[in-house]
Amino acid sequence: MMSARRAGVNWDCAYGAFLGLLCGDAAGATLEFSPGVITKLDVGRAMLMPGGGVFNVGKGQITDDSELALSLARGLSGHRPSDGFALESVARQYVAWCDSKPFDIGNTCAAAFGVTPDKDGNYAAAMTQTAATSCSSSEANGSLMRIAPLAIWSVGELEESIVALARTEATLSHPNLVCQDCNAVYCLLVEHLLRNPGDFQGAVDRGEQFVRNSVLSVVRQWFLEESLDISTLVCTKNVGHVRWAFVLAVYFLRENESYERAIHQTLLKGGDTDTNAAILPTEESTPEAEWAVRPGQRHLRRGLKIELMVKDQTAYSVGSRHRTQVEESIHQEDKKLKYVKAEQLFQLDSKGDNVVPSVTKQQKLAKLQKGPILASTRKFRL
């Protein structure tokens, strides 16, 4: 992703941060849109990435969070941070992703990435203009969920450069100042950890200094106050709001919490589980995402159906084709989702609107009556 291997970059942590994003997304995917209270038993099962859920994802299958992060990484590849944000390159990747008919896409992303090119065949100008006119009120999590590759890409750059790059990325779909501030703070935290593995307090101190000096939006309160204690944090209302993922990420960073426990506690909170969990690993920069590949759980490597094929620069998000006995039991359990509970999951608000699947509400509710939407056979090519 970077043109040269800069001194001071811990590449184990960089790779672990990206893999951790994928694993968190895959674990949370089985609980996304889950009705009712999520139990410890539910979370324990989800941590094994069994597949299933409302979207009937395959074992270890990633969702829009990871697919857009991969798209961002692809768009940044071959470009240098010192030359500025690669707007057109990244915009083209986002359009290609949107055109792949993702089974889960938020309203904000759909509006921004569904644009047509200008007369010269370029997308960036049309995308930023559409976002500015149609998406400026959204405080959804669609930009923060994909931003981690930019933090990796910009390691070693000046703080003001990292902030500018992170803010510019948000303008492609989420230009609201709240979303820009979240991107900026998050990238500063992650970039610090990639240069200084394990220095969680140093990362928090850096973030706090930036927030106190440069952030005037409500993100200031989230960082300085709400992230001190999440015991009363309710993530099941306005579930797509960026507030929840941001506060959880900063809280677990403050606590120097283990990656596995942070994911576990995040999934228990419910709401937009895959996005909230995907954002956590990059804060912790855990080498090789130990939870997913440690010796006692090598089977998860086989379950994680994510193939990054560097040779032909192709990436696929692939689920299993045949259900095991365990999968079938999960499948049958998911089919018991009641229509009235599903109805409640799609009540939107003007802020946290980034959790609406690409099918219409009526189509989705109809499919929920018959069983989960089949997502496990979809392939996504970068």
Backbone angles phi, psi at 314, to 5 degrees: -120, 140
Residue 133 region, left (φ>0) first, then alpha (ψ -120 to 50), else beta? alpha
Q: Is 65 annotated for ligand binding? A: yes
Residues in the chain: 382
Q: What is the rounded distance in angstroms from the CA atom of residue 71 to the CA atom of residue 96?
A: 9
Question: Considering only CA atoms, which of 62, 128, 130, 121 is closest in space to residue 97?
Answer: 62
Q: Taking the CB of residue 232, how many other CB atoms lie within 10 A of it?
A: 6
Q: Is 229 annotated for ligand binding? A: no
Q: Is 205 annotated for ligand binding? A: no
- Asked if residues 95 and 124 have their Cβ atoms less than 8 Å apart, the reply is no
Six-digit token pair at 85? 């944000």
Q: Is 63 annotated for ligand binding? A: yes
Q: Is 377 annotated for ligand binding? A: no
Question: Considering only CA atoms, which of 176, 200, 179, 181 is closest in space to residue 190?
Answer: 200
Q: What is the rounded distance in angstroms from the CA atom of residue 189 to the CA atom of residue 183?
A: 10
Six-digit token pair at 181? 């501030």
Q: Is 266 annotated for ligand binding? A: no
Contacts (Cβ under 8 Å, ≥6 apart) of 138: 107, 108, 174, 176, 179, 350, 351, 353, 354
Residue 56 region, left (φ>0) first, then alpha (ψ -120 to 50), else beta? left
> Quick one: CA dihedral 374, 336, 142, 316, positive or negative?
negative
Positions at the binding site? 63-65, 272, 274-275
Binding residues for Mg(2+): 63-65, 272, 274-275
